[in-house]
Structure formats: C-alpha cells, structure tokens
Structure 1
C-alpha cells in the first residue's frame, strides 16, 4: 500500500493516468471501516485502505476489471460481510467505484525555435506525452531532465516521424522552413487519423499552402481540419511566451470540446439522459440502504443468516 488516496488522486490526475476511486457510502452492522472511507486503485499500486481482508481483496479485483475496460464510469456495488467473504464482522456495505480513464494526449511538436522552446514547458506541465522534433540538434536545450514526458528527436527528415505516432495524436508544426512545414502537414493529413493539426503562420501563408495542397489532391474536408494560424485569437501577443500560451490554450480548449462531444455521443448511443441517470442512481442508493436495514433485522431474528454478494 502506498500514500493516501487524496495524494494519489492528485498525482494520477496530473499525470493523466487511469485510476479507480473507491468509497464506502453506506454501512450497517459491524464493518472494518466507517462510511466515507476511501482508497485508490491504479495499475501501479494501491493507495490507502478501506479495512483490508477479503473484502478489500474483492474490491481491488473489481476495480482492476474497470481499469481494463478503460472508460469513465460510476458503479454502485453491495457486499454482505458474511461467511462468503470470510469476514466475522457481520455487517454490510455499499461501495461506490468511480473509474477515471487515462487522459494522456500524444503530441508531436515540430520545431525547436523560440516559440517551441517557450511552448514545451507549458505542454510538459499537462498530462501528455510529447515528441519534440527538429533536424538541428544544437537548437534543443542542453537539459530536458525537468520534463520526463518530453522526448527529443533529431531527424534529418522530420516529416517521416509522423508515421511513428499513434492514432488520435496532436501535431504542432512550427519549423524554420515553409517547405518543411508543408511536407509535415501533408504527411499528417495523409494519415487522416489525427486529432489535431496546428500550423504556425499567417493567413497568407495558409492560403498559399491550401492552393498547393488542393493541387496535390488534398480535399477541402481535410484542409478544414487544419488550425492555421495556430492559437486562440483571444490570447493576443507576438512574444514567444505569449504565442506559446495562445497555442496551449487552443489545444486545451480543443481537447475539452472533443471530450464533451465524445461523452455526448456515447450518452446518446446508449440512450442515457443525465437527469434520468442521476435519478436512477438515487433510487439505487436508497434501495441498497433499505436492503442494508433489512439485512440488519435479519441478523437479529435469524440464527443462520445468509450472505449475498452482488459483485465478483
């Protein structure tokens, strides 16, 4: 077992790693811990405890199943602490499992110029993995040890690095040559599985690029996915730091919009209504609490109480 559950939540959120927050939300009879106790389960380890024993073992096992599914979700499970869980406490408990899926973003940044150098520290503080590409080794900072999520790549043909990225990656293009920018963007659009493509430059530069891309067979639909000029117009400024903040703001806004859209599509496809779902959750909680009270009464009136487990 590692540090406290609260520090684990902060750490996992900062790093964008998946975790399950477990909370005892209703107990009756004798239980190892009181209602409100929490623990966190991750692929890397366990943080805090809800009392140990076979109950905790079953909870960890269930949480690991949620981690394998890899989706944001909430599930309410009920455990009776009887002979089936080898617990002598004789109580019962409701356990809320809140699974937070991995949110790390893969970013490839082309260009180690002034703006690139200003942008890296901002991006490195976010839950993402960054591949930083340039064909000039002497342009990179001498020390990147403060940014464990940044990988420096020196490549004679930066556009060829596009093929090494996973699907749904983010690409930021700001090299020292227009032709290199063009070749990189062409490679990214050729993959057609990118999440975001941002190109630094003026509107004039982008109009020229569009004409060339169209001649090369790139469709208008593909071109419409390119963000050029890159960065939020609401964050003005021409200093490298100001441009870096503008670009990072656009990427964060784009990511959040995509997450909201994906969640909305998921809810629609599953026929989920948020208000209805909350109402169902309240009914489930009330029903389980009533069941706990009934179980408590059974323990008083029966010499051979049964144990029911509604969870693997």
Structure 2
C-alpha cells in the first residue's frame, strides 16, 4: 500500500501568506514516524476533526466542499479556523506524490494538540487497491437508535452531531453491532422515528423520480458526496429534496443508498431483514458521474 504523511505548521486563516511562505509550512514525514505526543488531545480525548476526500486518476473530488466542512467543524469545536490556501496546497502536494492512476483516499486531520504547542495538523494520502464490489452487490443494513431526538442539533449543539469529529467510537461500535446481527452497515435513527445517516455515509432514498436525503439541520453531517450527486441527479431529470425521512420510508422506498467520498454510492439491498429494490443502472450512472 502506498501512503504518504504531510505535516502542516498551521497559520491563521486570515494570514496573507504567499505561496512560497505556505510551502515552507508543509513537510513530508515517513509514514512510520510518530507525529503525536502522548499528551495530544486528539489521541487522549478524540478532541479534533477530520475530512476524507476521494481521488481518482490523479483528480481529487470536492476540495472546496470538504474545506468548507472542515472550517465548519473547527468552528463548532472552537478550534482555530484552517487557512484554506494552506490546506489546498497541502492536498495538491499529497496528490502529486500519489500514483496518477487508480483510486486514493486523502484524509485531513486537526487535533487540539497540546497547550504548549497548539493544534496538530496533517494530511495522509493512501492509494486504494479495492474496486469496492459493494457498489454493485450492495449492502445489508440494520437500523440502530442514536439515542436522541431528530432536533438534537438545534436543541443541544454541544453534542456536536453536525461536526466531523475524531470521536468515532460510537460509529465503529455501531458497525460492529451490524456485523453481529449479520448485516454490513447501519442507518442511524432518532428516538422519535426518523432515519438519519450511516456511521460513515449519507443516506439517499428514491420514491419515483424524487431523491430525498435528511435535512442537515436535524443533527446530521452535511454530505459532500450527496451534494455532488444532487447536482448530477437534477441534471438527469430527478427532483431532489432535503426533508425528514420516517424510518418506515426506508422499507417503502424504490431504492436506498449510502454514499460517501471514497466508497461512493452503495445500494442498500436489505433493511432489518426486509428486502429493498435496487436500481443498479442508476447506481452505475451516479458512480460514473462522481468518478468523472
């Protein structure tokens, strides 16, 4: 596996740094070199944020959208705002180091770091050999409660449900629970009966010529891949909506997908043991559009 690590010496978001000055803040390190102290808040408390971008044949997708979401997460956690041009330059350097052909994953990470040195920032780039067969074979999912109501993002913003934080222990525990139940993935639900998102993905459902995703004000993470897909789907003649989705709608849908930056659009074949129709032709068009 080909992997690269690029450290960033963070600069203020409003700094008028030149391209030369930005380049001086970026440094590749060996993938085996430790970059965190034992006292870094990211390692000790999961106190930090990240973004994962997908790349294909030398082109990275959704840079602007991911940097916007990184900044939004930083604001929610009271972290210093990332300098957009510094991070853009860092992404470009990592992309230049990766193989031109094939797929890759680019991960941006900011931790709160230590009191003495402030945030720790880095990017990893990893070439991906997998062809993601689930894009055609699909996944079986179970619904699992997140333990709070649909409006938690507005009523309890300190729970950070709309931020992409490093605290993914619950998400990973949910995926392990899905495996124990004989499924592949999870759709989280609210205690008042609404479908939300997957542990690492956004949710889409189709009813006729309408594609729906949960509205982001209801405590879910804004989906960058989902937003890209909506642009393509609207051009393809579909109506796209943001609204609440009742759990019962999952079983009544004409098709259901989980979408993410690296795995892209994956059809759901089963929800809680109930078979879901799949639209493999539309899925193929969606993934082709994302990869183009």
Could you say which TM-score interval applies, normalised by the shorter chain? under 0.3
Query: Which of structures 1 and 2 has the bigger CA Rg?
Result: 1
Determine which structure has the larger helix proportion and give its number.
Answer: 1
TM-score, normalisation: structure 2: 0.24
TM-score, normalisation: structure 1: 0.23
Determine which structure has the larger strand proportion and give its number.
Answer: 2
